[in-house]
Amino acid sequence: MAEEKNIRFGVIGAGKIGTFHTRTLAKMKGVTLVGVCDPDQMRAQKLAWEHNCTPYTHPEELLGQVDAVIIAAPTPLHHKLGMLFLENGIHTLVEKPIAVTMEEARDLIQAAKKHDLILQVGHVERFNPAVVEARNYIKDPRFITITRQGPYDGRMAHISVVLDLMIHDLDLLYTLIPSEVINVEAVGLSVFSPHEDIANVRLHFENGAVADITASRASFERARFMHVFQPDGYVSVDFMNARVKTYRKEKPVVNAMSDLTVNYPKVEKQLPITSEILHFMDCIRTAKTPAPSGEKGSKALDLALHILEKMNRFDIPKTGHLHTPKPLQTLTTVARAAQTVFDEAVGKLKGDK
């Protein structure tokens, strides 16, 4: 049997995510890393030289040299770059979200179909080994809570935290709950950027399941947890530390902890980004539908855009006054009145001394 040829790869974007992809590709069997492209020539050169490939500043320079690309550029560029490579016969993995609008997403999907190419969306959390293991124990989820938070990153200030972080969890929900979303409740707050930096969403599914998701990029500590409650118990997932814990009841009614079986399933340790790229390569070689495909990845984008439409957002500008929504104005007035009373009381106490 003839040995398979290496897949020639290019990475578009030499930022944080592009660096992860470049570093991973450089170590993988079956890969020839051709080059890294970034408009910042020094950044492209540094990353390329570190991993023994060629730096480029214009994506067109990779045409004819690569079989596949990973697009890790800012989201507003996903459509333009994706169309460039797909229209030129190059398999494409585009980081989440697939695009800025559904129209752009549909363009990419149609281009991939037209040229019979693999279009995979970079929802790397699907390949988290804890998620892979937890899915063996998730059978009939009724209520799911997910918390995803971390420090502010100015690189992502151009999009909402819903498109930046929460979209990972929206994609996961579609893999765990075999039903469509029928109702959305959402609230978001801008703290540091012009867009939502904190968001909380409650989703109601047609089959009766409910999911409560919180995403924040205005936190001092990183945390990524999921809890899945189902009729026979619940499953706890620690995304960051790749740990799974399951609770299963042994009787219809639990009267004591002895009526529960607690299990710590073994999680196979492998970097999610490595699994993601291996999956992409396998799909290229076998013409298998990727996970997620452009169609599946666009479902998460569609839901994210719907959430943004539903949000009653209030902005905290860098300067000027806080603009508070009407439902909160009464609370604000009460708070100010309470502060005034407090200040007067303190002043009186100081005067009596």
Tokens of 295: 């169609």
Cα–Cα distance measured from residue 304 to residue 308, given in angstroms and rounded to the nearest whole number:
6
User: φ, ψ for residue 193 (rounded to 5)?
Assistant: -105, 175
User: φ, ψ for residue 323 (rounded to 5)?
Assistant: -95, 105
- Name the nearest CA neighbour of 97 among 152, 150, 167: 167
CATH of domain 126-269+305-310: 3.30.360.10
Q: Supply the pLDDT for residue 302.
A: 95
Longest dimension (CA), the chain: 96
CATH of domain 7-124+273-293: 3.40.50.720
Sequence ranges of the chain with CATH classification 3.30.360.10: 126-269+305-310
Cα–Cα distance measured from residue 139 to residue 136, given in angstroms and rounded to the nearest whole number:
8
pTM of the model: 0.83
Sequence ranges of the chain with CATH classification 3.40.50.720: 7-124+273-293
pLDDT one digit per residue (tens) for the chain, 353 residues: 457 899 999 999 999 999 999 999 999 999 999 999 999 999 999 999 999 999 999 999 999 999 999 999 999 999 999 999 999 999 999 999 999 999 999 999 999 999 999 999 999 999 999 999 999 999 999 999 999 999 998 878 888 999 999 999 999 999 999 999 999 999 999 999 998 999 999 999 999 999 999 999 999 899 999 999 999 899 999 999 999 999 998 877 877 777 889 999 999 888 999 999 999 999 999 999 999 999 988 999 999 999 999 986 544 443 333 444 444 443 344 445 445 444 554 454 445 54
Per the DSSP assignment, residues forming a β-bridge with 315 are 190
Residue with the two structure tokens 């947890």 = 225
